[in-house]
Structures are given as structure tokens and as C-alpha cells.
Amino acid sequence: MNLLIDASMLGRLLNSGAPAPVLLDVRWHLGGPPGVESYRKGHLPGAVFVDLDRDVAGTPGSEGRHPLPDPAEFQAAMRRAGVSGDSRVIVYDGADSTAAARLWWTLRYFGHEDVHVLDGGYHAWTTAGHPVETDSTPGQENTAAEPGDFRARPGNLPVLDAEGAASLAKAGVLLDARASERYRGEVEPIDPVAGHIPGAVNAPTLGNVGVDSRFLPSGLLRERFAELGATDAVDVGVYCGSGVTAAHEILALHIAGIPAALYVGSWSAWVADPTHPVATGEA
């Protein structure tokens, strides 16, 4: 199976009689209502809710707003959600896979390879006419019927710290996945300082998907990243505001056949240190 799975393929898989995959709903809204409210209104049959802020990230601080979760805590969360070492895992969010990609990346980082993203998310599933469930017990949305035995083994995908990101901006290609106005330093709605890491190249995450919120074909993604200097012939890294949308860009790069490292702390960690330089404008 590819990194992505579409709604039709997932529907056939669920009706095939084969062992059911673990379905993880990680809908999340930055600054909006909790994703669990969307889950309660409707979710894929058998899906378990995973809270991005609580389960997929650590406590905010000097390492950023969404640092890596503690391995033991992530392991416990995935076990509660029913993930075992041999599980095929399908993750999804509302539509554009922004949050789903962060869970995909985190599972891969902690050693679980058989994990895939529902392309187009819940929107694609319901648009295709597939069934949903609305029944859930408050407080039990993130607990599977049978716990898993997932074991967290960190270090299976490359990461960058601040020093590594600064070096890569000079010696390789460091992509900034935020919106262009944030990259240029014209606005900064979340973090205390506006701008970007010197030498970084702007590649807004929304450029990875089409109007249907599904990922562009691999060939178009390769063309997009090649125009920005990112190919499989150079070292590539990605950051965003707090390491969420940057994971989406990492997934897009993987689809394009380009390995890349994630600066998990991203801009929120970069500006937590006042000695770090800040650039504004187009370059």
C-alpha cells in the first residue's frame, strides 16, 4: 500500500473480510473547537479519536508549541488507541491531512512503518457516500475495544534542531511551510516574533494539495519542490510554526521521492531563543 489511501480503496478494504486496520481520527483545529467535537458528530466506523495536542505532542515550552511527545506517553496513547506492532494503521483528519500527516510522521518516527493517510480525510469519505458512526461515550473516544502492544522506538525518521536547521539553510534546502505572509514577516498571529530563519525558502503547505484537499500527484509535487531547489540530490529540511504543517510537507516530499528532515520545534522554538537571527521579506 502507498503512503496514501483513497476513500474508495479504504471502503473496499473494510468490506473485504481482511483483518481491519486501526483507524485513527486526529481532527484538529488550530485555535478552534476541540477536534473531539467533530469526532462525536460523525467518524469512520470503528475509528478511535487521537488528540493531537495531548497525544501527538509534548508540553509546550522552549522546544516549541508542539514538541516531540515523551516516548512512554506516546506509546501509552497508541496502545489505548489499539495500535499493535503488526497493525496496519490508517490516519485521517477533516480534509487536507495537515493533522493526519503529523500523526503519520510521529508513528513513523517511533518505529511504526505500516501507517497510511486517508487522502482527503473525513470529507472525502463522506463525499463518496461511505457510512459513518455517531455513537461515542464521552471520555472514551480515544480508547479502543482491545488495547494494543505498540512499542515506541524513537529515531526512525530524521529530525533537526535549531543548529541543524540553520546549517541546512546554508548548505542544503530548508523549506518554510507557513503561509507566505508569515514567512515574509508581514503578520504573525501566534508566535511573538515575525519572520523566518535566514536562508529558508518559502513553500506553503497548501501548495501540496488541490482544491479537493487531496495531495497533488507525485510528478507535480516533484516539479513543485524542484523549482524550490529541493530534490533527492540535496539535503532537505522543513519547518513551520510548530512542527504540524511541516510534517504535511514531509509527507508530500516523501510522495515525491524526496527524503527530508523535520525541525520539530520549528519557528516557535527558534524565536524562543533571542540570540537566533530573524529574516524578513522574500529572501
Which residues are part of the catalytic machinery? Answer: 240
Yes or no: say if 225 and 203 are a contact pair by the CB < 8 Å rule: yes
The rounded distance, in Å, linking the Cα atoms of 88 and 250 is 21
Yes or no: say if 281 and 254 are a contact pair by the CB < 8 Å rule: no
- For the record, the C-alpha cell of 80 comes out as 489505548
The rounded distance, in Å, linking the Cα atoms of 106 and 88 is 15
Q: Please report, for residues 77, 199, 225, 272, the alpha-carbon distance to residue 279 in angstroms, rounded to integers and kept in the order given.
A: 38, 8, 22, 15
Task: Return the closest-CA partner of residue 255 out of 218, 229, 228.
Answer: 218
